[in-house]
Every structure is written in C-alpha cells, then in structure tokens.
Structure 1
Amino acid sequence: MPLNSGDTATGVLFESDVETVDGGLTKDVSSLKTTDGSRLQLVWLNIVLFVIIHTASLYGVWLLLAEATWTTFLLFFPAVVMTILGVSGGAHRLWAHRTFKANTPLKLIFLFLNTLAFQDAVYYWARDHRVHHKYTETDGDPYNSQRGWFFSHIGWLCCRKHPEVVEKGKQIDLSDLEQDPLVMFQKKYYLLLMPLICFVLPTVVPMYLWGESLNVSFHVMALLRWCLSLNLIWLVNSSAHMFGMKPYDKNICPVDQGFLIFCRVGEGYHNYHHVFPWDYKSAELGKYSQDITTKFIDFFAYLGWAYDLKSVSQDLVRRRAERTGDGSHPVWGWGDRDQRMEDIGDTTITHQRKGK
C-alpha cells in the first residue's frame, strides 16, 4: 500500500512512491529541505542518562584494553557487529523498507538482535525511519540534518519531537507491521525483553562461559557494546547526510561514505539508499561491497529463510546516476563503460608484451 505522502514529501520509500522512470520525484526537493529553527523542549532525563552511559562506556574502553580476558577482547567486536545487524538487517531492511521477506526463525533472530541493540521496538523504529525517508531534511524528519550534525546524531533523542514529526508519523501506513504478530509481540513486551537481552544476558554469559569478572562483563560486553553500536548507527543519520559523495543524486543531502561502509556493516552507501531504498543490498555493488548485512541476508537466502529479495537493475542505476548524480559514480575497473576517457589516457601500462 502506498504511503500518504502529500505535496511535502522529499523522498521515496517504496517502489510505489516513484514518479519518474529512474526512480525519482518530479518536484525540486532541494527547495523543500529546511527547518523552521524553532527551539525544541529538552528532555533532561535523557541528557543525564546519555552522559552517564558514555562516561561508563569510556571506563569500559579502559577495562577492555587493560583487564578483560582475551576471550572477551576477541568476542567484543563480533558482538558489536551482531548488535548492529539487528538494526541494519532487521528493523531497517526487513521491516522499515520491506526489501525482502523472512520466515519465522529468521524473524526471531532479527528480533533478538534488534532487542540486543536497544533502539526501541521495531514498530517504532520502522515508523520513524519511514517518516525520515518520506520527509527527509524537513521538520517532519525525526533526525533532520538541517538542524546540524549534533542534532541528527544524538540531539534528536535529547528533546521532544517537532510537532511535524508527530503529525507525519500519524500519516505513515504501518498496517504491515501491525499484521506481523512477532513485531507486535516485541512491541508489547519490549520493556521486559530489552533489559534482559541487552544488559543482563551480555553480562551473565561471559561470567559463566569463560570466567570474566562482573565489572568487565557489565561495562564492556553490555554498556560499551551497546554505546558503540548506538554511535555507529547514529553516524548514518549525521555524517552520512553531510560528508561524502553523491553518485546517484546530487540534489539530496545523503552521501556515500567509505568509512561508514565498513564501520556500519554496509550502511554507508547512503546516497544510493535514499535513491533506491527498496533495494535489499542498500548499495549498487552487492556482493563485491564491504557489506556484512547483505552477506548475512544472502546466507539466509541460500538456506531459504530469506526470500523475495528486491534489487534495482544496473540499467536503472546507470540512468539515474547520469541524470542526477554528481559525476562520482564508481567504476568496477578497467573497461567499465563509465570509465572516463581522460582516466584511460592518463593510465600507464607497463610490462607490455610485444606484439600485443
């Protein structure tokens, strides 16, 4: 079902939202991206909690480097990746954008990992993210980057939502989520499940399985893991809307950023993602990219647990990049038809065989 977008929509969410043959909108969205600059009411409880969480996490960094066992040290970063997968693969690509479908066991895996990430229930996360895509860079955008890097990174969680965000959230169609019993189960029991999965389990498991101390287990595997994953995920809202290239649409703020492609397990191709948000790969390069999330989905597709994976054709991507891109559209290597003549002319080929 297409979403209620109205004339103020600045982005697309599903295939049904596009207005041009190459997946875009007919309006000039750059003229709609703004903020009224109004001051939003601060939520001091959240501010104090974030200060405490980040301070305790810094202590966790010291413990990870100075006191943690080798088992904890080696498993910490895989734990961060799995935490992020609960958002990038589950809440984001599966439920917010419906880029693929999953059977019940895979949904349960994603819901577990998503609860481990503690970024609110899938239902609310997907709602806010759909609003973000439909009204990106406006006052209807929950993490509007027009208000600055800090606001779009963490500041939006330290204040009350702009009235436009609340209003647009009421217009978004969430019927698919409401018809998913697993999503609604997580929503109903989130306040019970989240503390157990996000904090208790990561603390208890290292203590009993490999003898880690309570202090290290809590500050490293619970708090630091959660805090680091939060900030890596938030970077997509902040840095990936400001610093980088725009190979597919130079008229929008989201950018492709190499650093985030690696650190955010594949979510750094943000210019591509906002142009083609229904592509399950969230990138043009697919299996050749540093995209752990796509590889995770592909693995379960091989098992038959993930299915109906949506991809955008190379021809559509090329046409869109040629029409609205900033000229930085990547080439796969020598011989790519997008390779510029000046690049070919400036290339030196050594050790050539005679007669070739």
Structure 2
Amino acid sequence: MSLHDTASAENDTKVKEMDVPVRLAWGNVITVSLLHLAAFYGFYLLLSGRIYFYTFLFFFPPYWLAGLGITAGVHRLWSHRSYSASFGLRLFLMICNCSAMQTHIYEWSRDHRTHHKFSDTNADPYNARRGFFFSHMGWVVCRKHPDVIKKGRTIDMSDLDADPVVVFQKKYYILLAPFFGIILPTFIPLLWNEYFSHAFFITMLRYVSSLHQTWLVNSAAHMYGNKPYDKNINPTENSLVSWLTIGEGFHNYHHCFPKDYRASEYGFTVLSFTTFFIDCCAWLGLASNCKPTPRDMIERRRMRTGHHG
C-alpha cells in the first residue's frame, strides 16, 4: 500500500468515526427543555418587577458561589490540581459545586480531563469540531460518542478516589445537589414573604444561567478569539467569556498551561475573580502550592507556536 493509500485509509477511518449516528438522550432533552421554559418565566418575572427587591439582590450571591464551585473548585482544584486546598476549603467548594448542579466532582473532573487529553477529537465530550451548538449544550442532550466512553476509562482518577470530600459528595450527590441547588435558594426568599412560585422560577433562571456560563467555555472559547500561545489548537482567548465566567475565558493559554492555577497569564488584573479568590485563600492559609507558569516558559511557547499576526 502506498503512502497516499495509507493516508486515504486513515482519512476514511476518521470520516467513519465522525459519522457515528447522533443518538438523543430523550430524558435529557425533556429535562433541559423544561428547565429553559422555567428559566424564561423566571426572566419574565425579573423584568416585569413582580419579585421583591431583596429577591432580585439575592439572585447574585448563590450565582457567584455556584460559579466558584465550578471555577475554583471542580476545574482548577480537582480537575487540574493547580493548587492544594485545606479540608475546610474543599468542603466549602464542594457545597458550592453541589449548588451548581453540573454533576458531581468525580464525573465532571473525569470528563474534563478527557477533554484536555483528547481535545477537539471524537473522544472529547464537548468536541467543538461538531459545531457550536453541540459543544455548547448539544453534548448534554446526546448520548456520548463511543470514543468518549472508551478514552474516559483510561483517565487516572486515583487522586479523587483518595479525597474523602469527593467520595462523600459522589455518594450523597442525589441528596446534596437538590438541597443546595434548589431547595435552599428557593426557601430563603420566603423569609421576606416572597411568593414560593416566584422564588422557584428565579432559582431556575439562576441555575440555567450558570449552565450557559460554563458551556460558553466549551463553545465560544473554542471558536472565537485570538491564539497568542498556540495557533494550531482550537481554544482561543475570549475576554467576554472570561468576564462571564469569572476568569475562564483565556482558553488558548489554559490549554497550553493547564496546571497554572490562574488559568491565564494575567492573574487578578484582568477579569479573573477566581484567581483573586484563590490568592485570598492562600493568604489566609486555606490554599497552598499554587502553581503559576514561569514567565520565560510562557514567552518561549508564545514565540514558538503563537499567532503573531
């Protein structure tokens, strides 16, 4: 077989792999649809002024805490081990992560590690090569590509197996997530006599908004923006996404240096409240072993593979 025939055979194999039929997970389709309907009604309540002012103010603290549970917690701490955290901080971030209701730490981390190891291939759970909608939210309502399952089983998860906080959350997630994600934020507004239904739909709006906040990193930050560190990969630098996700939009940098606890070269100075939070925790003695990437290493990578146009 000639080199040309070998290349053609490999390309045919890739096409066949991409042509694996998309299978919808109808339970997820229905759930995601109902969540969005509830969120739209919550948005209507917010715009129409039918909720108490305190309910409006209360929208934000749980939203930010859920965000920290994803960014500082399951992403930078548990998925990438870019810093170490005390038991108390891990417990706090675990509760924040429960309130985000984006699956438990173990599963989220396994999928994210698979995403980094096999980025933008069939083994990537949110493969951006399959289009914006798929990488944003389509992967949630579709059954996983066989390669995602196969390659996901090769990911080393022994560190999370040894973390009692992760093990506890995984065991009781079905109880913890609804309590911190729905029940608690719905009942707190009743303290100032908010209608139960209004509080519930605002909670749904908060939840769906936080989902899209996370999904933008998988979609927009893999398609739109510049590539100063590696022009050969899909992830980009997207300031808007970084602003919306409290620091996760500098994705070209993050895929080049995934162990950097800042997830960007800028630290807190540019759109990264998460980095500020971790730095504060380090100052208080709650976080340690924060791993920044040396400046000379960043510059060498930028000069070698970055886009300089």
TM category (shorter chain) comes to: over 0.9
Cα distance in 2, alignment partners of residues 197 and 89 from structure 1: 18
**TM-score, normalised to structure 1's length?**
0.81
Q: Which of 142, 160, 164 is the aligned partner of 2:143?
A: 160
- Deviation digits for residues 268-326 of structure 1, max 9, x if unmatched? 00100000000000000112111011111111111000100000011111111111111
Q: Aligned partner of 1:199: which letter?
A: I
Q: Aligned partner of 1:144: which letter?
A: N
Aligned to 2:10: none
Higher helix share: 2
Pairing 1:173–2:145 present: no
Pairing 1:57–2:39 present: yes
Q: Aligned residues: percent identity?
A: 46
Aligned to 1:115: 98
**Aligned ranges for residues 195-274 of structure 1 at < 5 Å?**
195-208=178-191, 210-220=192-202, 222-274=203-255
- Deviation digits for residues 88-117 of structure 1, max 9, x if unmatched? 110000000000000011001100000000
Cα distance in 1, alignment partners of residues 16 and 118 from structure 2: 10
Are the equivalent residues in 1 in contact too, given 2:127–2:134 (CA < 8 A)? yes
Cα distance in 2, alignment partners of residues 305 and 35 from structure 1: 46
Cα distance in 1, alignment partners of residues 62 and 294 from structure 2: 34
Aligned to 1:40: 22
RMSD: 1.5
> Secondary structure at 2:153's aligned position in 1?
helix
Are the equivalent residues in 1 in contact too, given 2:62–2:185 (CA < 8 A)? no
Are the equivalent residues in 1 in contact too, given 2:97–2:105 (CA < 8 A)? yes
Q: Which of 68, 79, 100 is the aligned partner of 2:62?
A: 79
Classify 1:317/1:35 alpha carbon distance in 2 versus 1 (closer, same or farther; 3 Å).
farther
Aligned to 1:133: 116
Q: Aligned partner of 1:298: which letter?
A: D
**Aligned ranges for residues 330-349 of structure 1 at < 5 Å?**
none
**TM-score, normalised to structure 2's length?**
0.93
Q: Which of 289, 314, 327 is the aligned partner of 2:295?
A: 314
Deviation at 1:35, TM superposition (A): 5.9
- Deviation digits for residues 157-216 of structure 1, max 9, x if unmatched? 1111111100111100000000001100000111111111111001011112x2222122
Q: Give the total of aligned pairs.
A: 295
Pairing 1:193–2:185 present: no
> Secondary structure at 2:81's aligned position in 1?
coil
Deviation at 1:33, TM superposition (A): 12
**Aligned ranges for residues 258-297 of structure 1 at < 5 Å?**
258-297=239-278
Structure 1, unaligned stretches of length 5 or more? Answer: 1-31, 329-356
Cα distance in 2, alignment partners of residues 35 and 145 from structure 1: 15
Pairing 1:104–2:87 present: yes
Q: Aligned partner of 1:172: which letter?
A: I
Cα distance in 2, alignment partners of residues 194 and 286 from structure 1: 31
Deviation at 1:68, TM superposition (A): 1.5
Structure 2, unaligned stretches of length 5 or more? Answer: 1-13
